[in-house]
Amino acid sequence: MDYANTLSGLAEDRTMGVILDRSQNVIPVYQQMRQRWNRELFERSPTSAYNKKGEYVGTNLDMASMLNTLTEREAVINFPDYEPRRTERKNEKEWIVSRENRHGKIKGLIAKKDAFSFSVRLEDQNVVDLEENKTGKYRNFLITDLDGNFYKGSKTIEIPAYADIVDFIDEYDIALKDYGDESRTVSFKNFVQPNLWQAFYSGDFFKTKALEKRLAEESKYYRNVTKGIKEKLAEEGELGKFHYQRTISGKKIKTVPKKVKTLQVDIDMPELEGRYPVIKPTVNGLVEAVEKANEISYSILPRLRFNTRAVELAFFKHGKNGKLNPGWSVPKIERGYKPEGKRTEWNRMAVDDDLALRYRIWERTERVNPTSV
């Protein structure tokens, strides 16, 4: 990805103008940014997984680039060696055929907002839904722990014989050689490409962070609309006609506190203008509002955040706290910056008076499974 000069004129950029206008549909911008972040794989020239002596040393291709490409086509992948963090609870409505070789279509990518934990959501074909009499239920598989390092068994994935992927893998000799069938198994040294820290100084990163912030507000708007319509329909006795069920669910488990060092990144940008679309206070309007809020919260935002957090992880691990130059002119980082009326200190990189990136390294407490402490 070409990052040079991308901060020049960013405040007047047409894409930023769309993001800052509530009346504008930002889905085309979202699709554009996804394409920008996901195009990397086939432009890469990764090193072979084997040295000249035929010894395995691992490829420098990062898993995040591969997962982005595979997710775009809802590809099937297999985790041959994945180790569940905890014993899965017995559910009489499900049958887990095997706890090995967890495989299925990729249905989403997930990244925690305030830690470096990344996951992939699979339609896990090892799980049989006895109520629906079908195979496949959503399961999240941890790729990295809270510190951004690979989780047990997650660094190796098996990929079916998709022609272009196989050609790419074979051209650069990055697959493990002891599996022997038409699929390809790749073990990764890095979750993110170390040099991805440079993207922290790119216009694409600024725009994607701005888009995240806009979409978070838009999702909140539709949640508030949902609440208002429900109250109105309840007063009119019409709420009983509303039926909506999410297909993604999770179980509450006992957790314990754990301190983790991480990077928090925020963007200062002009106030949004305009208004979001008005939704009629009807049953159909309620369905529309719920679907819009869920699409943003559970599909669009997670995919965007997966990419921005990947950049932030690379910056956290390899960017030397902003002391490295990416190779082009960037704004000077202001240390010890405090937003008006706040006490927390940040590092701030301003493009102009109204557009700036703020970040800080801090230790926070996360709630985790007892087995991970």
Residue 2 pLDDT > 50, yes or no? no
Q: Is residue 84 part of a domain?
A: no
Q: Which pLDDT value is given to residue 3? A: 43
Cβ-contact 318, 195 below 8 angstroms: yes
Q: Could you tell me the pLDDT band of residue 366, with boundaries at 50, 70 and 90?
A: confident
Q: How far apart are CA 257 and CA 259, in angstroms?
A: 7
Render pLDDT for 68-105 as a digit per residue (tens, 0 to 9). Answer: 999 989 999 999 999 887 655 678 899 999 989 999 99
Q: Is residue 118 part of a domain?
A: no
Q: Could you tell me the pLDDT band of residue 192, with boundaries at 50, 70 and 90?
A: very high
Q: Mean pLDDT throughout 161-171? A: 94
Q: Which pLDDT value is given to residue 87? A: 59
Average per-residue pLDDT for the chain: 89
Cβ-contact 269, 357 below 8 angstroms: no
For helices 203-235 and 283-295, angle between their N-to-C axes, nearest 10 degrees: 150
Range of the domain at 20: 10-38+197-372
Q: Is residue 32 part of a domain?
A: yes
Q: Give me the number of domains the chain comprises.
A: 1
Residue 247 pLDDT > 60, yes or no? no
Render pLDDT for 320-342 as a digit per residue (tens, 0 to 9). Answer: 999 998 988 888 999 999 999 99
First-to-last C-alpha distance (Å) of the chain: 38
pLDDT cut 90: percent of the chain above it: 72
Q: Which pLDDT value is given to residue 253? A: 58
Nearest residue to 74 (alpha-carbon basis) of 7, 123, 22, 11: 123
Q: Is residue 331 part of a domain?
A: yes
Q: Could you tell me the pLDDT band of residue 14, with boundaries at 50, 70 and 90?
A: very high
Residues 6 or more apart in contact with residue 65 via CB below 8 angstroms: 40, 41, 44, 193
Q: Is residue 5 part of a domain?
A: no
Residue 4 pLDDT > 90, yes or no? no
Residue 245 pLDDT > 70, yes or no? no
**Total count of residues recorded for the chain:** 373
Q: How far apart are CA 77 and CA 80, in angstroms?
A: 9
Q: Is residue 24 part of a domain?
A: yes
Q: Is residue 124 part of a domain?
A: no
Residue 181 pLDDT > 90, yes or no? no
Q: Which pLDDT value is given to residue 1? A: 41
Q: Mean pLDDT throughout 49-65? A: 94
Longest dimension (CA), the chain: 77
Q: Could you tell me the pLDDT band of residue 259, with boundaries at 50, 70 and 90?
A: confident
Q: How far apart are CA 268 and CA 105, in angstroms?
A: 37
Cβ-contact 215, 300 below 8 angstroms: yes
Residue type, 249: S
Render pLDDT for 275-316 as a digit per residue (tens, 0 to 9). Answer: 999 999 999 999 999 999 999 999 999 999 999 999 999 999
Render pLDDT for 201-243 as a digit per residue (tens, 0 to 9). Answer: 999 999 999 999 999 999 999 999 999 999 988 888 877 766 6
pTM above 0.95, yes or no: no
Q: Is residue 69 part of a domain?
A: no
